[in-house]
Amino acid sequence: MSWIAENVVGRVGSLLQGLTAPSKSVSVTTLQEIRLAMLAALGDVAEKRFPLVQLRVTYASDIDDLWYLRGDVMAAVASLRGEAVAKEKLHQISTMFVGLVPQNLTNKFSVRPS
């Protein structure tokens, strides 16, 4: 097999593997706790006002998906309850990711928000 063919096969395999298995070994309980915290932050109103965000959080397949949905959750909460409340909720949620995502992503959450 040529180098190009091997490279393409390797990349396609990597993509397919990423679709079928979570990227990190995180317990289902931990994922569910974070998911529930995010849904609680959204509240009951989110089902009508932000159904897409609620669905994306509900069906996120791994810890990375939930990590990157924090911005959507914050925007929705800010729209519903104000930016100050949204920042506090996001800080609480973000601290749940410490040790589950790369440390450089969670370093700023070890200090209380201003």
Return per-residue pLDDT of the chain as tens, 114 residues. 555 545 544 554 544 444 434 445 688 889 999 999 999 999 998 889 999 999 999 999 999 999 999 999 999 999 999 999 999 999 999 999 998 988 888 777 654 444
State the virtual CA torsion across 94, 100, 103, 108 in degrees, nearest 10: 10
Q: The pTM is what? A: 0.71
C-alpha–C-alpha distance, residues 40 and 18, integer Å: 28
pLDDT of residue 107: 77
| Residues 15, 8 contacting (CB under 8 angstroms) | no
pLDDT of residue 104: 84
| Residues 92, 37 contacting (CB under 8 angstroms) | yes
pLDDT of residue 66: 96
Half-sphere exposure (Cβ direction) of 8: Cα atoms closer than 13 Å: 5
